[in-house]
Amino acid sequence: MRAFLQRLFGGRGGRAAVICYLRENGPIAYEFDLFRTAPRDRAEAMISSELSWAWKSGTREWTHLTRISLSAFLADVAQGALLVGVEGELPTDVSDELVKGWIRRFSRVQPVPLGAVVAVTAERELLFVQQHASEAVNALLDDWALDKGAAVRKAYPRLGSASLEDLAARL
């Protein structure tokens, strides 16, 4: 009962619990309040990070996240979105096929520019990163004040259809 209440109302200090979905190999997922409480602050941290971001929503094809597109992003993410963060510059034309290929290689821990994937739905917000993430990804997690050490640990298969591999298959 205590764990349920902490998850519902947040852990110590009013902070919502972070859940980490772990597996032996491949990316892991963090489930936490990413855009529901302070979406502009989180998005600003993304734009200021060393990663380049693009998102896709139910109403918009792949769009680069910049200060100019920030308002559109904030409107879209409230309804649900899929985001990709890459190290370096994004290609001009990001497509479903390109992202699908990135996610496949990312899931197999093969070299790929992809550093993070974020899936936002009405039910949950998931951040997928490599178990040994790059300095750029770790710096962003620090900016978001994500306490990885305090995360509740669960097995990755418990994500079911919300897994990264299933997200890629639906693109």
Angstrom distance (rounded) from CA 81 to CA 167: 11
The domain spans of the chain are 18-170
Per-residue pLDDT, 17: 87
Element (H, E) at 24: none
Q: pTM value?
A: 0.89
Cβ atoms of 100 and 171 closer than 8 Å: yes
Q: Which residues of the chain have pLDDT under 70?
A: 1-16
Q: Return the bridge partners of 153, or none.
A: 20
Mean of all residue pLDDT scores within the chain:
91
Angstrom distance (rounded) from CA 93 to CA 42: 25
Per-residue pLDDT, 16: 60
Q: Which tens digits make up the pLDDT trace of 35-75?
A: 999 999 999 999 999 999 999 999 999 999 999 999 999 99
Angstrom distance (rounded) from CA 50 to CA 137: 8
Per-residue pLDDT, 94: 97
Per-residue pLDDT, 136: 96
Task: Give Cα 170 distance to the centre of its chain.
Answer: 17
Cβ atoms of 126 and 159 closer than 8 Å: yes
